[in-house]
Amino acid sequence: MWSPDTPAPQPLAPIVLLHESLGCAAMWRGFPAALCAATGRAVVAYDRWGFGQSSERTGAMELDFVAREATHAFAAVRAHLGIGPFVALGHSIGGGMAVHCAAQYPEACVALITEAAQTFVEPRTLTGIRAAQAVFSRPESFARLAKYHGEKTRWVFDTWVNTWLSPAFADWRLDPALPQVRCPTLALHGELDEYGSLEHPQRIARLVQGPARYMLLPGLRHIPHLEAMQPVTAAIAEFLQPLP
């Protein structure tokens, strides 16, 4: 958890980060501290079960794992830390989880921010995953991922690939959850995102029921918060500035 050096006169809702399919808390790198400094809000990042420093996990991921995060691990983290109002910020599939958090707790979610989120299974996403299979087949690439996940790395990688490429997951969509979102929403998306088209942020902004907009980030790919940390944190800070 990152806390601002100078607390706001009135407590501001903390930002809870939900990581991507190959991610963990440590893989946000310097972004949480930068976000905390830019917004004046506490920032919370946690490892989902099976990732990073969390407990080992075996077997296939449940097909409803995106929705389950809101009612299981996120709910437990929120209760453990005594978090009331919150801002949900998710990257990639974590963006879908953030949508479910906002939908599940509309009275508590102050704002929703998605970054490079997928809203359905798109051919571009599957093409990107197949390309990543080739990259991570090289020992040096797999070793870089293992720095963060240790002995769980094979499960982390195979679960990502096998879930998304499974015919049983092909009909997954965020559409049922999006209209349940009532809070202000900002959907960030890199212009060159190799895992999803502009249809995803447009869909988020169109289907949520609160005030919403999407922002296309020129020249950026799938991880804008690391590719251009300062502009991304500035955009988020501006969006959150008028909110409690």
In a domain, 127, yes or no: yes
**218/228 Cα distance (integer angstroms):** 10
Give just the sign of the alpha carbon dihedral 228, 207, 101, 159.
Answer: negative
**110/177 Cα distance (integer angstroms):** 17
List, in order, residues 6 or more apart from 52 with CB less than 8 Å away.
23, 24, 25, 26, 27, 148, 149
In a domain, 2, yes or no: no
Per-residue pLDDT, 83: 98
Q: Could you give the residue ranges of the DSSP H alpha helices within the chain?
A: 31-39, 65-71, 73-81, 93-104, 123-136, 139-149, 153-165, 199-207, 224-227, 229-240
In a domain, 177, yes or no: yes
Question: Is 82 exposed, middle or buried (CB count within 10 Å of its CB: 0-12, 13-18, 19+)?
Answer: exposed
For the chain, the domain total comes to 1
Comparing CA positions, the residue from 112, 102, 122 lying closest to residue 172 is: 122
Per-residue pLDDT, 6: 74
Comparing CA positions, the residue from 89, 163, 178 lying closest to residue 121 is: 163
Question: Is 202 exposed, middle or buried (CB count within 10 Å of its CB: 0-12, 13-18, 19+)?
Answer: middle
Per-residue pLDDT, 172: 98
Count CB atoms within 10 A of the CB of residue 203. 21
Per-residue pLDDT, 87: 99
How confident is the prediction along the chain (244 residues), in pLDDT tens digits per residue? Answer: 898 877 777 889 999 999 999 999 999 999 999 999 999 999 999 999 999 999 999 999 999 999 999 999 999 999 999 999 999 999 999 999 999 999 999 999 999 999 999 999 999 999 999 999 999 999 999 999 999 999 999 999 999 999 999 999 999 999 999 999 999 999 999 999 999 999 999 999 999 999 999 999 999 999 999 999 999 999 999 999 999 9
Per-residue pLDDT, 5: 79
Cross-strand pairs, 115: 91, 188
Q: Which helix (H) or strand (E) holds 115?
A: strand 109-115
In a domain, 110, yes or no: yes
CATH of the domain at 65: 3.40.50.1820
Domain carrying residue 117: 15-240
- Assigned token pair, 162: 């096998």
Are 60 and 163 in contact by the 8 Å Cβ rule? The answer is yes
In a domain, 141, yes or no: yes
First to last CA, the chain: 19
In a domain, 180, yes or no: yes
pLDDT digits (tens, 9 = 90+) for 108-156: 999 999 999 999 999 999 999 999 999 999 999 999 999 999 999 999 9
In a domain, 147, yes or no: yes
In a domain, 4, yes or no: no
Q: Taking the model in full, what pTM does it have?
A: 0.96
